A and B are shown apart, each in its own frame.
Chain A
Amino acid sequence: MKALESAPRRYDLGIRLLSFGHIDKVHRRIAEKFAAEGVRVLDIGCGTGSLAVVLARRGARVTGIDVSPQMLDIARRKVEQAGLEQGVTLLQMSAIDLDERLEADSFDLITGTLIFSELSDDEQHFVLRQCHRLLVDGGRLVIADETVPPSWPKRLLHLLVRLPLLVVTYILTQTTTHAVRDLESKIAAAGFEIDWREATLLGDFQTVAALRR
């Protein structure tokens, strides 16, 4: 989503169009299921703060981190407009600094939407290990992202549906996201027990929730 990120003002609209409104629904689902009064949440790659706001509305105390200061500018404005300054803290930092800047066992819930597809495999493993360190025992991790469909007929169908969109994105941005492979096994390998999952029909977008063990 690099082109969209380079114009954060258009990011929300762009993502909403590209995902056909799906992303809002995903945020709402996550908030309804896992956010509650007083829950300490870390939102990795919070972007323009859409999820952070939805979570904070339900009483959660959210720390949102993002590497882009421009995205955070928008997020800050959104938080102010919603009157949620008390519930949301925003930090400009890369996910690769999770080990140095945040304390162990300091969160009950960690969320990451559309962030894993921006990370390399090594970075994904690093972030998952850090999530394990940052969560309290029994804490919860929720990852939602574009994923590589599980079987080849679905992959083919996915390609056919997405190809025109991919071509347009390529022309506009010369880059694209890289759908995450084997999301569930990566999460499980980092010491989590997956207890809830939701996927689109084609399996090209998944939300996975897991408990820290």
Chain B
Amino acid sequence: MRRSKARTKNAVGGYLSDVLQTALRFLPFPVKTGLRRLGNPDRRSPVFVTGNFGLTVRRVARVLRGIDAYLLVANTRGINVWCAAAGGHFTTDDVVSVIKTSGIGDLVEHRRLILPQLSATGVERSALEERTGWRPVFGPVYAEDIPAYLDNHYRKTERMRTVRFDLGQRLEMAVMWAFPISTIPLVPLLVWWRGLALPFLALVWALALLTFVGFPWLPRRAVVSSEHTLPGWTRYLIVFDQRSQKVLVVWAMLVAGLAAYGRLAAGWHWTAILGWGLAGLAIALLISLDLAGSTPVYKSGLHEDRLLRVELDLDRCEGRAICQQVCPKNCYEIDSKLHKARILSESECVQCGACIVQCPEDALAFVDPVGRRIPPEQIRKYKLNLTGDRVVSA
């Protein structure tokens, strides 16, 4: 009785943290690292690895309810798996560390380690195996697919390998933008212009929700780069960029709504409508500043001067399909007769570099716009910093 009460309390606390960490998810939320037992695991239970971002750990534990397993929480500095792996905060060392310090080797008789697929850009499979004797495999992108992955005898379907941007995730992104943008100005608003606080909140949330919920209906051109790029900083502003002007349709609809409400119901002066319209424009610009980069399915639009291309050296390739297993955009096809990989869709690539890092034959590399080759050693050694430069060493 008491135990179930404690569990309810824990669950409530967990959901409250979920809400807070979803709203502020651009900040790291580190939780305790190390070994967690899920259910009643024994010597043959599967061993999973994840990062120590609070939201992630709770979600993994939730989807694995009913499965007896061990979960190793690595020290990713409170950052989610993909960002940490790409930024050098989730590396081979971090996995070696959690294997050694948790004593997992004494608890199970097998040596299969299931890593999240999106860690593949930071954690090196072969180096990890060499150093620990454990045999790492990359599981599904999403924790929610783990039960199906286990049922499928550790084989991933195409869907399990691919990043998605479904409604749930789009709502989360809307909240991630709307919460800080709406709450930070709330303090001065509540102190000096109390009457404006509520309409301001409504404006921010409406624009964020419209932009992200409506994302699939935005033309593909709105988020994917084209030949046409604007000079200097103006290319960062969606309003001057013809390929994305349809995002402004969202804003125009809002202004029309404002005008109708202001004139018909509230008797606003036209200056009020103009003021709110301009405020709405500023908010729309802020939210859509890097709309492509806010999604998992497109690469950021902020670094178009260093768009990289993946190059495949067919002489080296032996068709072992590791690239296919780690590519979150499903860009690879394997010819099983010739034992060679083939890049299906170059434009889909999000430049995560996972395929290059993991290729056992070093058959893949990045090529920059000037034609210089960035070899695998360099991609493995140096991770991305926030300005998109490869200078953080893993």
Stretch at the interface among A48-56, A64-72, A195-203: A64-72
Could you tell me the distance in whole angstroms from the C-beta of A160 to the nearest C-beta in chain B? 17
Query: Is A121 part of the contact surface with B, judged by Cβ < 8 Å?
Result: yes
Check B392–A5 contact: CB distance below 8 A: yes
Give the CA-CA distance A94 to B30 in the complex, in Å.
21
Check B33–A122 contact: CB distance below 8 A: yes
Given that A6-B385, A126-B101 are known contacts, is A175 also in contact with B89, CB under 8 Å in the complex?
Answer: yes
Across the interface, B100 reaches (CB within 8 A) one of A5, A126, A173, A175, namely A126
Stretch at the interface among B7-15, B75-83, B362-370: B75-83
Could you tell me the distance in whole angstroms from the C-beta of B100 to the nearest C-beta in chain A? 6
Given that A174-B26, A175-B79 are known contacts, is A123 also in contact with B97, CB under 8 Å in the complex?
Answer: yes
Query: Is A119 part of the contact surface with B, judged by Cβ < 8 Å?
Result: yes
Query: Is B102 part of the contact surface with A, judged by Cβ < 8 Å?
Result: yes
Check B392–A170 contact: CB distance below 8 A: no
Query: Is A102 part of the contact surface with B, judged by Cβ < 8 Å?
Result: no
Main secondary structure of the interface of A (DSSP, over half): helix
By a CB distance below 8 angstroms, the chain B residues around A5 are 392
Check B27–A170 contact: CB distance below 8 A: yes
Give the CA-CA distance A71 to B393 in the complex, in Å.
9
Give the CA-CA distance A181 to B53 in the complex, in Å.
19
Check A174–B98 contact: CB distance below 8 A: no
With most chain A CB atoms within 10 A of its CB, the pick from B32, B75, B101, B102 is B101
Given that A6-B392, A173-B386 are known contacts, is A122 also in contact with B30, CB under 8 Å in the complex?
Answer: no
Query: Is B381 part of the contact surface with A, judged by Cβ < 8 Å?
Result: yes
Query: Is B34 part of the contact surface with A, judged by Cβ < 8 Å?
Result: yes
Give the CA-CA distance A68 to B26 in the complex, in Å.
25
Check B386–A96 contact: CB distance below 8 A: no
Check B78–A175 contact: CB distance below 8 A: yes
Check A175–B77 contact: CB distance below 8 A: yes
Query: Is B262 part of the contact surface with A, judged by Cβ < 8 Å?
Result: no
Task: Bin the interface of chain A by size.
Answer: 20 to 34
Query: Is B391 part of the contact surface with A, judged by Cβ < 8 Å?
Result: yes
Given that A6-B392, A70-B391 are known contacts, is A119 also in contact with B28, CB under 8 Å in the complex?
Answer: no
Check A120–B391 contact: CB distance below 8 A: no
Which partner residue on chain B sits nearest A176 by CB separation? B28
Query: Is A213 part of the contact surface with B, judged by Cβ < 8 Å?
Result: no
Give B97-136 as 1s and 0s: 1 = Cβ < 8 Å from A's Cβ atoms.
1101110000000000000000000000000000000000
Number of interface residues of B (CB under 8 A): 27
Check A121–B27 contact: CB distance below 8 A: no
Interface residues of B in 85-103 (CB under 8 A from A): 88-89, 93, 96-98, 100-102
Give the CA-CA distance A111 to B52 in the complex, in Å.
28
Give the CA-CA distance A163 to B75 in the complex, in Å.
24
By a CB distance below 8 angstroms, the chain A residues around B89 are 2, 175
Given that A6-B385, A6-B391, A173-B386 are known contacts, is A122 also in contact with B101, CB under 8 Å in the complex?
Answer: yes
Which partner residue on chain B sits nearest A177 by CB separation? B77
Query: Is A28 part of the contact surface with B, judged by Cβ < 8 Å?
Result: no
Give the CA-CA distance A211 to B26 in the complex, in Å.
43
Interface residues of A in 107-126 (CB under 8 A from B): 119-123, 125-126
Query: Is A178 part of the contact surface with B, judged by Cβ < 8 Å?
Result: yes
By a CB distance below 8 angstroms, the chain A residues around B386 are 3, 172-174
By a CB distance below 8 angstroms, the chain B residues around A6 are 88, 385, 391-392
Interface residues of A in 86-132 (CB under 8 A from B): 94, 96-97, 99, 119-123, 125-126
Could you tell me the distance in whole angstroms from the C-beta of B163 to the nearest C-beta in chain A? 21
Across the interface, A123 reaches (CB within 8 A) one of B27, B88, B101, B391, namely B101
Give the CA-CA distance A99 to B98 in the complex, in Å.
14
Check B32–A67 contact: CB distance below 8 A: no
By a CB distance below 8 angstroms, the chain B residues around A172 are 386
Check B98–A122 contact: CB distance below 8 A: yes
Could you tell me the distance in whole angstroms from the C-beta of B265 to the nearest C-beta in chain A? 40
By a CB distance below 8 angstroms, the chain B residues around A174 are 26-28, 79, 386
Check A122–B391 contact: CB distance below 8 A: no
Query: Is A7 part of the contact surface with B, judged by Cβ < 8 Å?
Result: yes
Chain B residues with CB under 8 Å of chain A are 26-28, 30, 32-34, 52, 75, 77-79, 88-89, 93, 96-98, 100-102, 381, 385-386, 391-393
The 5 tightest CB contacts between A and B, nearest first, are A122-B101, A120-B75, A120-B33, A94-B93, A96-B97
17 A–B contact pairs at CB < 8 A? A3-B386, A6-B385, A67-B93, A69-B393, A96-B97, A96-B100, A97-B96, A120-B33, A120-B101, A122-B34, A122-B98, A122-B101, A123-B97, A126-B97, A126-B100, A175-B77, A175-B79
